Amino acid sequence: MVMVAEPAILRGVSRSGVITILPGSISDLQQRLADQHYVADRGLAVSVFLALRLKRPLFLEGEAGVGKTSLAGAVAAALGTDLIRLQCYEGLDVGHALYEWDYARQLLELRILDATHTLNNRETARRELYSEAFLIKRPLLQAIDPLRTRPAVLLIDEIDRADEEFEGFLLELLAEYQITIPELGTVRATEPPLVVLTSNRTREVHDALKRRCLYQWIEYPSFEKELAIVREHAPGASARLAEQVTAMVQEMRAGDLYKKPGVSETIDWVTALVALDRDKLDAEAIDETLGVVLKAKEDLEALRGRRAAELLDRAIARSAARA
């Protein structure tokens, strides 16, 4: 797929055979994301649009729960392509991220070759054992697989949890979209994937990695934007409940909490209250379900009782004023 200026030919073919067109404008991209229930403001949409046009990785930073991970899924769905996710963690090594050899099958093949006396030709045996038939492709290799008919979306999630050594390995991959497998040679993407990296800033990611990417900081949303997100994901909630819960969460974030709730917690809270047949937020509902939105013992203890009542009064007043 070649990306050029004319939107009419920005197209590819999905695995189902359906022709899909890359967004021809920022507003088109926003609408496609909205169709996937993702509310993106123009600044974020511009960053995604440029990442697609320029074939550059997109680095997303922000607090947990603001929609970084879900953006990658929404973009993949909007483009009609595959989402490949690599979840980072401390100690993640190249083998688990890139590829491994299927040693059990190789051993079985080795016994077969021995039984058929093929081992007399060591070069032939080596080619048999170290072929793609025995290669286990992990997320990074899956994303740059030259056999892929169209670019995937590669999500490298929470890169700040991985070690700095792993960051160093990513530099070549993100610059060239290729890797070298000693037994097979260089594997290069026919069409580079859209790479989305996310970070919750548990540590600083090295500048060398950031320089290879377009950068976007995602803030906690405004009341209006968060309410729109809640309505997209919890359509069964009454307008009053959606507004009151959104306002309550916004008030919580303004306070001194150990772990501020993200948008995902807002959606979870509304969904839980709907499951309890609630159509408004009151003191009893808060007391029963506060653990849905707050995930730290210190925060639960700090917000129960009088403090929760104060926040509820302000939330209800804010919701009423909006009406």
Per-residue pLDDT of 23-50, as tens digits, reads: 999 999 999 999 999 999 999 999 999 9
The last residue of one of the domains, among 203, 218, 233, is: 218
Rg (CA), the chain: 24
Residues of the chain falling short of pLDDT 70 = 1-20, 117-121, 323
Q: Is residue 68 part of a domain?
A: yes
- pLDDT at position 106: 82
Q: Is residue 37 part of a domain?
A: yes
Question: Does residue 16 sit in the same domain as residue 106?
Answer: no
Question: Does residue 78 sit in the same domain as residue 164?
Answer: yes
Question: Does residue 31 sit in the same domain as residue 157?
Answer: yes
In angstroms, the Cα distances linking 143 to 37, 90, 165, 292 are 25, 22, 21, 35
Question: Does residue 45 sit in the same domain as residue 66?
Answer: yes
- pLDDT at position 256: 87
The mean predicted confidence, pLDDT, of the chain is 87
- Total domains in the chain come to 3
Question: Does residue 153 sit in the same domain as residue 286?
Answer: no
- pLDDT at position 118: 64
- pLDDT at position 94: 83
Q: Is residue 245 part of a domain?
A: yes
- pLDDT at position 265: 96
Indicate the helix (H) or strand (E) that contains 87: strand 83-87
Q: Is residue 292 part of a domain?
A: yes
Q: Which domain holds residue 267?
A: 223-322
pLDDT tens digits, residue range 156-196?
Answer: 999 999 998 898 889 888 888 988 888 888 899 988 999 99
pLDDT tens digits, residue range 86-107?
Answer: 999 999 988 889 999 888 988 8
Q: Is residue 1 part of a domain?
A: no
Could you give the CA distance from residue 79 to residue 266 in angstroms, rounded to a whole number?
Answer: 27
- pLDDT at position 298: 93
Q: Is residue 2 part of a domain?
A: no
Question: Does residue 11 sit in the same domain as residue 73?
Answer: yes
Q: Are 294 and 307 in contact (CB under 8 A)?
A: no
Give buried/exposed letters for 76-109 (b at 16+ CB in 10 A, else e): bbbbbbbbbbbebeeebeeeebbbeeeeeebeeb
Indicate the helix (H) or strand (E) that contains 113: helix 103-115
Could you give the CA distance from residue 67 to residue 71 in angstroms, rounded to a whole number?
Answer: 6
Question: Does residue 117 sit in the same domain as residue 254?
Answer: no
Question: Does residue 13 sit in the same domain as residue 37?
Answer: yes
The last residue of one of the domains, among 163, 183, 218, is: 218
Question: Does residue 158 sit in the same domain as residue 298?
Answer: no
Q: Is residue 239 part of a domain?
A: yes
Question: Does residue 25 sit in the same domain as residue 51?
Answer: yes
Question: Does residue 173 sit in the same domain as residue 82?
Answer: yes
- pLDDT at position 5: 29
